Structure 1
Amino acid sequence: MSIPQELYPSQDDLPYEEELLRNPFSLKLWWRYLVARTDSPHTKRFTIYERALKALPGSYKLWYAFLRERLELVRPLPITHREYQKLNNTFERALVTMHKMPRIWIMYLLTLTEQKLVTKTRRTFDRALCSLPVTQHDRVWDPYLVFVSQRGVPIETSLRVYRRYLKYDPSHIEDFIEFLVIRACGKRRGEHADVVSGLNVDAIIRGGIRKFTDEVGRLWTALADYYIRRELTEKARDVFEEGMTTVVTVRDFSVIFDAYAQFEETVLLVKMEGVSEDELDEGEGNGEEDEDEDDDDEDDRLHVAKIERKLKRFWLSDDKEVELRMARVEYLLDRRPELANSVLLRQNPHNVEQWHRRVKLFELYEDHKDVVNARVIFDKAVQVNYKTVDNLASVWCEWAEMELRHKNFKGALELMRRATAEPSVEVKRRVAADGNEPVQIKLHKSLRLWAFYVDLEESLGTLESTRTVYERILDLRIATPQIIINYAMLLEEHKYFEDAFKVYERGVKIFKYPHVKDIWVTYLSKFVKRYGKSKLERARDCLSMLLK
């Protein structure tokens, strides 16, 4: 490629060229040369700049002047012109040695911003922040925020940049809020339909419930209102119920309960108005039918209307649905004391006063023969993580006693079997991994519960079932001397003398002195009474064991 003739030095350039040959690294000589050629074409001046910068690549004065002239050249041109690409390449070359000069960065960044190169501009801003010291970052952040506030920059990019800026200077939080307000008002709501349709509203609001603990009640009602607006009334009821059973403050409970009650009352009123309108339409239809008996077309239309009304009444849309909705409202209002009490117990499960109130609630249901609701309350009570296992065992025993008072003997036994069942290995492993062991895991070793259970089996069960319970107590190693004696005496009553003596022998191996004394006394007296002098050798062995 041949070099144009005008780029070669002229006769007027020879003095400068000769001096530069003798001293090519003199900034003063290069600058005098450029000043002398101020009126020359830009191509020739750019050639001189390139030669000077090749000799002095670290000269800020030369790079700044060169870039300013290139900027002036492209200013009247459209941003798609190829001269802009040459300008960008020149800036990149300059930053190899001028990367610590904030003015060069700002000139480059403003140029890229004008060119609407979003990705390249963002990356260049990030490079500038990485290259310059923190004390000079404020000079970069100002144009950076102007850039991300422009139209065409993705909102996610803008949000990320603003969050980073607030870490650098948190005092500008109001600027961020103003930016969000402007962006929110910049579009009509209808233009966000494609974005909103892809949002998981349920997950977003539930995340807010976990994060903003002071607004739990309002967020639960907002989630329910979302489903109500989507005409998913049953899902809205589920949300209301979940909210009332999870909140831990009376204030949040009151907000949810009031919204739930208002929702049910509104649904009831709408349904009652609908039923009244149907009855009015039916009366008008009958009148028209009487007047137009002779008109065939009118008769056909009335006949179709009558069929539609019958089809509509085929569903639960008449007075029965009104009764159902009234029953729902009454049931909700009746449950308020129980639900409020549950909130207080979730605050402090060891609040004895609140548990006394809960017991009175059990008795209230029981006195009104409402055993079903009493069972529901007991079922919730046994799931609470009490302070001690004995507290939980007492609730189970109280539940079983209620079943006994209502002659539900089979149900009482089933309750005890459920209460004394040992948790599975999987459950124990999961609890061990969590590191927070509830009292329910230790319930199967509660002596109070087993003592109540074995009394029930002796009274209501069979000998085999009772023996199974006693054996289980011995296997768990929670037996007392009195339980050993009771087990042996049960076997004696049913003529299982040898089995009874084996129980005594197991007992004396389990306990030490002085607890074993009562077992030995009872064992020896029963043995002598049974065999007398017929088994002296065995009696001698027992006495020798006693002496040891």
Structure 2
Amino acid sequence: MHDIPETAVRVFRRYLKLYPEDAEDYIEYLISIGRLDEAAMKLAYIVNKEDFVSKHGKSNHQLWNELCELISKNPGKVRSLNVDAIIRGGLRRYTDQLGHLWNSLADYYVRSGLFERARDIYEEAIQTVTTVRDFTQVFDAYAQFEELSLSKRMEEAAGNLNPTEEDDIDLELRLARFGHLMERRLLLLNSVLLRQNPHNVQEWHKRVLLYEGKPHEIINTYTEAVQTVDPKLAVGKLHTLWVAFAKFYEENRQIDDARVVFENATHVPYNKVDDLASVWCEWAEMEIRHENYEEALKLMQKATVMPPQKVAYHDETETVQMRLYKSLKVWSMYADLEESFGTFKSCKAVYDCIIDLKISTPQIIINYGLFLEEHKYFEEAFRVSLVTDLNSIASVT
């Protein structure tokens, strides 16, 4: 009732010994008379007191936000607390409010006049947050900070009739810093999504596109991607990363490097046989594009080699490398290559292997029959069609 705050504070302190649940009233009073340091200390005390129950129905999380707000906006008046340590403690405790807490910490340094330290905090935040919401909150605050800093410097430069060389350099530096931040937005956002799930194949492809025109960064990205993505956890088709990596080298006329990538890709434990088959086929197609037809045939021959012990195509307990010999995709391409660049005998042997493995389709039989007709082996063509029909009837029966 009377303007004697020192007496009121002393009475309040004694009162709280009997009624500690009224601590929030005390904190409100301290804030109203400008004694923010003591208010912050008392608020920090009740936040860390596990058995404290707010009479206003506030959760511990709400009280923590009030503490962060108080200490971050009043750096000159709150001296008894380690603000950096308190907010970082909140970052570990309240992982669903990371964006807000990082901004509070940066705001504390901005209001303290430590602008470079504030930039460090913003950079640390955008490099560690794992949700798009938190990233957006931090990035928008960071961009606003840089924009206001730049605007203020430009106003000062406009009022300066005799700018020095250092003034011009400082202004250019601020312009470049702001431009660089805006240019990095998509790349930083992509980093957030990859921190959420480093096994997301599509996001790695997007990252490569963001580095367009920067070959060293693209190579580093592909290398990191194929080393990071776990085949068992991959979201999307992992083999497309290996193929794209090899094609990048091919497009830059580094065929030997592309072959190394393809060779490594054939040893990856993919989830599906078709993924491994696609790698072998893409490798062979690259050799064909460069007119290395013999090499392409050797690749298909190597891919279709039967393992020492035959395994079922759908037996997922076996590796995809062991089951590749029954991949129709690989055998179909092998047959096409033999028809184009092989001999009659070698091509016929490939078609016979397909039939023996019992993986032939009507289209394969038609192609085989046409191939035999073309070489005047009419009886053989008729026999292949007849035997295949009888086998089909027997399997159905």
TM-score range, shorter chain: 0.3 to 0.5
The normalised TM-score by structure 2 is: 0.42
The normalised TM-score by structure 1 is: 0.32
- Give 1 or 2 for the bigger CA radius of gyration: 1
